[in-house]
Structure 1
Amino acid sequence: MNALIPIKKPVNLYLSIVIATGVSLAGAILFYNYDLVFPWVVFVLFVGTIVLLDFYTILMPPKGNSLSMDSPVYIGCLFLYGLQASLQVLLIASILFLILERRAVWWKHLFNFSNYSLMLIGSFLIFKQLGGELGIVSLNNLVPYVVATSVYFMINVLIIGGYFLITLSKGIMNELRGVIREAASGYLITLVLSLILCFLIKVNVFMGLLLFTTMGFLLSMAFKQYFNLYQHMANKANRDYLTGLYNHGYFKELLDEKVNEAIQLDEPISMAILDLDDFKKFNDTFGHLEGDNLLKHVGELIQRDCRDEDVVARYGGEEFVILMPDTNESLAFQRLNALRKKVNDTFYKGVDVLPYGCLSFSGGVYEYKEGTSADFLSKTDKAMYIAKRKGKNMIRRYEDEEHYDNGVVLEDKMQIAKQHVNIFLTKDLMTYRHSNRVFDYVYEFGKRLELSEKEMDTLVLGSIIHDIGKVEVPRELLTKTGKLALEEWEMMKKHVTWGKDWVETIEGFEETIPLVELHHERFDGGGYPYGLKGYSIPKLARVLCIVDSFDAMTTERPYQPTKSFEEAIEELRRCSGTQFDPDLVEPFVEMIQEMYMTKLKVL
């Protein structure tokens, strides 16, 4: 019997009661008559048989549950030699297990001893109550045998059931039914084996125990080979042939199991779905064979970045899914965003044909709260598609879209702003995606700055269209690789003025003009277009300057290498008071560290 792990104070109390009861009753019986009931040689043979059989258990597919053959030995000893004999064997065997299995904590061994003691005491009392006679193997004893063995397992079911009653808030009946089903098959096997052992021992105790141990060993070896074969075939059926990750069908099976487990343990569980950006373009350019190799590569990156307890699967095509037990949504968001950055920074031959010039994916995260596992999957999937629509190479939460649409800005203005930014979809995808990421950062940062509702509306609208003037910049300049020439840089700088002229033509967007025109002004007066200094630069433009620069530093661009989040934070701090408002740098850094950077200590 496997010991249970206490996870809450009521469980500790329950296990303490079981241990106290079992130890007290067994101790009283053993103390009443501590002399060996049978010869030393027979006693040693019984103990040795139990120890050997406990190490050679029978593995049962499909889940790998193990059936130990020690119960037939205990029950056979009980029927032939009585309660004291079986408890004596149990006591010495438990002490040996305590010595041999030192990795297990002491209370687990004590619980196992108590559990077996209560099962043996209960079954012996019923056996005697029904007129069973010790040491006699006959049809007259058949009913006491069957009923006593039933009680043996009923006590075990009650003890395990008590554990589930305390620890599970939901799904207790399903768990109990599972325990009873497993106990029923174990009961039948144990009953038959215990009767076989009794017959063998009655013929010759030494030869009987030797044959029974040999049979147990051979069954263990045979079932182990069968189980390994089953596992091999199951793995082939459950794995994606290309990446080696779990496939779609098996992931959905595991999803139900992991969600139920999280509910029972009252632990958070989050899911992430990610979709490779522009994979079709890579596939069409280099062919399906290279496309398959890219999928393998990405699958390996994801698997290496995940914990052992995470469930990683290829969900379909270029989509992957990660199920993260004991992980809340904030941590899941941090982990997926860190993975996104790691994928961006990983070179792969041929990705220069993609719009970003690097590998990227769009991801959605969601923490299970209620409902079915299908709802859980659907909401995570929607979050991923929000990231796709917002410009790709970003991570979104399911709630985000709802927040954006529920009064943070007027929906009609948002739609107008998005229509203007959509121009970049055909001219410069980088600017389009940059604008959407800046919007994400600004939205989160703005909530921490205690802005008025009007200021918040202006900030998020301005963040969407802050680079709209780049529509006037020639395409070859926007996509040029390497450092810009002086005259090219002067033309690029004009995008803020062109942007101001553009926004002036949009009715209702007048208040966003300072953000569009002044987000490249520097706190020390060295910016453009006017060289404004310090607090003469509007506050919202100072906010946007930090966010815009951070995303520019951490995202692959043709004319500059990308920085890690840590390097970008170092740069923000280095330029605090010169390029950036020193009052705003640290609050922004704290927001990035809290929401977007993985905390190693919790992984």
Structure 2
Amino acid sequence: MQLRQPKYTYAFLVCLAGSILFVTSDGHLFQSYSTSEWVTIYAMVAAVLILEHYTFQLPPEGNQQSMDSSIYLAAVFTFGVSFALFVLLISSFVLMLYDRSMKWWKHPLNFAIYTFMITGASVAYHLLGGNAGAFDIKHMTAYIFGLTAYFFINVLLVGFYYFLLYKGKLFEVIKTFLTDAIFAYLSTLLLSLVLVILIVNNRSFGLFLFLAIAVLLSHAFRRLFVMYSKISDKVNTDQRTGLYSHSYFEEKLDDYIKESREKDIPLSLALLDLDDFKKYNDAFGHPQGDRLLGFFGQIVKAECEANQLLAARYGGEEFSIILPSYTKEKAFQFIDGLRKKINDTPFDGVDVFPHGCISFSAGILEVNTESFDKSQLVGWADRALYVAKSKGKNTVFIYGEVSNLPQRLEHDINEIEQQIKIFLSKDVYTFKHSKRVFSYAVDMAEVLNLNEENRRLLVLGALIHDIGKLEIPRDILNKKTKLTNEEWEIIKKHVLWGKEIVLATNKYQDLAPLVELHHERFDGKGYPHGLKNKEIPRLARLLCIIDSFDAMTTERPYQDTKSFQEALNELRRCSGTQFDPELADSFIQYIESRLTQDKSANPVGTEAI
């Protein structure tokens, strides 16, 4: 056990504190017990051991619960804290001797935690006037207070351990315990009151009767959890391939993206597509095609599980793999190795394939600070997959690398220009502004030496970034006096309306982040989401600078126009607050170089809302 790890340090400190509490809690711990009391002690120890055997699963993952708490609490309420701690000591010692499946250090940790819970319950019980002995309805408040103390000490101590283990947020971990485990805990704790009544009135037979009920309940909890697990597995698993389902992939991708950003660790995503699967289906029929999918899925599953990766069936003959802690280079090595393994694995009828073997094409994307949401990530990975297909299939391509894929940028520009020409009749300023921002974007793509994909995104995004203004009423869009607060709120919605317009066509979905986020500010005071710093994709941060510069230098009815130099000074002043300082510096240098080359240049002006 390495104490340098937080969870081990925490376990050591809890064990130490629990041991001190155990020794100092009560001076009567090792008093002389009567024969009948020894019988009760051994009966309670046996009951604890039996109930420990009938544990059942509770959230979070790895947390197990048994009804032994009922025994300890009944001992506290009936015989006192010393008696309960003595039962705990003997039970823990026996468990440590025969239960070798648990890591050795967890035994003293559990002993210490139980010591805290038993002592806390006893203190709370006595604070409200409770006395050890027969059940007394007058002390019901004391019983409840004792049960509550026992429960919350358990939640805090165990919850903090899982917080250190899974590196999540403490509040979320505690919330999980409270929401998912509270009913199982409460049923266990309330049974202790039943046991108090049974022990006082019937001694050993009462304990036997309680034990029978507790075992049956524990068994029922276990069966319910098994049933829940089976149902959950069916929902989360694709039955044909044995891989995770598309919906589970979507859910877990969110979690992995969040973890990657919070811990600043690499994360890659791969999309795989079986090559020429339709030919195989046409040649041998769908049942044999389904067998091929299952065969392929099992190989992918085995390879991914061995490397702690998550593989899912994305749909049809497409598959997805989440590669946590993998850079794009490491991801390429794994996926390409998987491709070669698939190539070398025989299967009936593979002669029908052009490559003479089972093959797939794959696109890889490494998640980074430019990634806005999972739909954007999947879109980029899909684009890389398309490149891999265009290269002749049976290959792996990393998103953003230089490719020989024929470019249709000019065609896309012309197509988008036709869409924004509607502004000529509605708002000529927006049309001209879009064209100027587009021009700046073309130059900045060259200045920053953007790769092929990012160049396309920036150029097309700049051209279409204000498309949402088509939804703004003409009288607001062309108003020559200052906008009211209500009108300004309508203007601000153009980014969301623009996103909806862009998402309406599959062809330009990847432009949505630029359209939606070009008014987010580096300091988090922008709109529509108040994102800040690297939460905003890099190209959107750049577009914000270009858009604002053109706004400041263009004559508009409701604002003062700045000279180029005044606008550059404003960029410098707002660098680090409104604008990304690194990108602002690059843009300033670009404009200054243009001014130097052409001192007769006139302000090209603009608008930005």
- The answer to whether TM tops 0.5 is yes
Given the alignment, which residue of 11, 33, 49 partners 1:15? 11
Report the Cα offset of residue 150 of structure 1: 0.6
- What secondary structure does 1:363 align onto? strand
Q: Deviations over 1:458-487 (max 9, x none)?
A: xxxxxxxxxxxxxxxxxxxxxxxxxxxxxx
Distance change in 2, residues 1:194/1:268 (3 Å): farther
Code of the residue aligned with 1:231 in structure 2: it is: S
Question: Does residue 1:384 correspond to 2:380, yes or no?
Answer: no
Q: Quote the sequence identity (%).
A: 38
- The alignment yields a C-alpha RMSD, in angstroms, of 3.2
Structure 2 residue aligned with 1:296: 294
- What secondary structure does 2:70 align onto? helix
Structure 2 residue aligned with 1:438: none
Distance 2:274 2:25 in 1: 68
Given the alignment, which residue of 205, 208, 221 partners 1:207? 205
Question: Does residue 1:227 correspond to 2:228, yes or no?
Answer: no
Code of the residue aligned with 1:232 in structure 2: it is: K
**Which stretch of the first structure deviates more once superposed, 73-82 or 30-39?**
30-39
Given the alignment, which residue of 101, 104, 107 partners 1:106? 104
- What secondary structure does 1:106 align onto? coil
Distance change in 2, residues 1:294/1:190 (3 Å): closer
Distance 1:226 1:47 in 2: 27
Q: How does 1:423-438 map to 2 (within 5 A)?
A: none
Distance change in 2, residues 1:174/1:226 (3 Å): closer
Distance 1:275 1:7 in 2: 46
Contact 2:271-2:363 within 8 A present in 1 as well: yes
Distance 2:187 2:317 in 1: 48
Structure 1 residue aligned with 2:75: 77
Q: Deviations over 1:20-63 (max 9, x none)?
A: 11111102236654125562111111111011101112446997
Q: Deviations over 1:170-228 (max 9, x none)?
A: 54332221122245324421332111111111111201111111112222333333333
Given the alignment, which residue of 48, 55, 78 partners 1:57? 55
Aligned length: 404
Distance 1:85 1:289 in 2: 67
- What secondary structure does 2:230 align onto? helix
Structure 2 residue aligned with 1:348: 347
Distance 1:176 1:30 in 2: 31
Q: Which consecutive residues of structure 2, in runs of 5 or more, have no partner in the other structure?
A: 409-450, 452-609
TM-score (norm 1): 0.60
Structure 1 residue aligned with 2:43: 45
Distance 1:267 1:205 in 2: 59
Code of the residue aligned with 2:342 in structure 1: it is: V
Question: Does residue 1:155 correspond to 2:156, yes or no?
Answer: no
Q: Deviations over 1:91-141 (max 9, x none)?
A: 111111111222323221111111111111112111111111111312111
Report the Cα offset of residue 262 of structure 1: 6.6
- What secondary structure does 2:397 align onto? strand
Structure 1 residue aligned with 2:30: 34
- What secondary structure does 1:306 align onto? helix
Code of the residue aligned with 1:9 in structure 2: it is: Q
**Which stretch of the first structure deviates more once superposed, 215-224 or 338-347?**
215-224
Distance change in 2, residues 1:358/1:63 (3 Å): same
Code of the residue aligned with 2:101 in structure 1: it is: R
Distance 2:253 2:163 in 1: 24
Contact 1:37-1:84 within 8 A present in 2 as well: no
Contact 2:195-2:207 within 8 A present in 1 as well: yes
Code of the residue aligned with 2:362 in structure 1: it is: G
Structure 2 residue aligned with 1:333: 332
Q: Deviations over 1:422-474 (max 9, x none)?
A: xxxxxxxxxxxxxxxxxxxxxxxxxxxxxxxxxxx9xxxxxxxxxxxxxxxxx
Distance 2:215 2:167 in 1: 40
Q: How does 1:589-600 map to 2 (within 5 A)?
A: none
Distance change in 2, residues 1:318/1:168 (3 Å): closer
Q: How does 1:235-314 map to 2 (within 5 A)?
A: 235-257=233-255, 268-308=266-306, 309-314=308-313
Distance change in 2, residues 1:96/1:266 (3 Å): farther
Q: Deviations over 1:267-302 (max 9, x none)?
A: 655433211112122223333233222212212222
Q: Deviations over 1:320-376 (max 9, x none)?
A: 223344545443322211110111122333333332222210112344446555555
Contact 2:57-2:65 within 8 A present in 1 as well: yes
Code of the residue aligned with 2:191 in structure 1: it is: L
Report the Cα offset of residue 169 of structure 1: 6.1
Structure 2 residue aligned with 1:88: 86
Structure 2 residue aligned with 1:596: none
Structure 1 residue aligned with 2:396: 395
Structure 1 residue aligned with 2:175: 177
Distance 1:56 1:264 in 2: 38
TM-score (norm 2): 0.60
- What secondary structure does 2:105 align onto? helix
Question: Does residue 1:318 correspond to 2:317, yes or no?
Answer: yes
Distance 2:407 2:240 in 1: 41
Q: How does 1:357-368 map to 2 (within 5 A)?
A: 357-368=356-367
Distance 2:5 2:298 in 1: 41
Distance 1:56 1:265 in 2: 38
Distance 2:165 2:221 in 1: 33
Code of the residue aligned with 2:391 in structure 1: it is: K
Question: Does residue 1:194 correspond to 2:192, yes or no?
Answer: yes
Given the alignment, which residue of 115, 118, 121 partners 1:117? 115
- What secondary structure does 1:396 align onto? strand
Distance 1:123 1:282 in 2: 68
Q: How does 1:511-530 map to 2 (within 5 A)?
A: none
Contact 2:55-2:64 within 8 A present in 1 as well: yes
Report the Cα offset of residue 166 of structure 1: 5.3
Q: Which consecutive residues of structure 1, in runs of 5 or more, have no partner in the other structure?
A: 406-410, 417-456, 458-603
Report the Cα offset of residue 244 of structure 1: 3.0
- What secondary structure does 2:305 align onto? coil
- What secondary structure does 2:320 align onto? strand
Distance change in 2, residues 1:281/1:368 (3 Å): same
Contact 1:361-1:393 within 8 A present in 2 as well: yes
Distance change in 2, residues 1:223/1:263 (3 Å): farther
Structure 1 residue aligned with 2:138: 140
Contact 1:169-1:264 within 8 A present in 2 as well: no
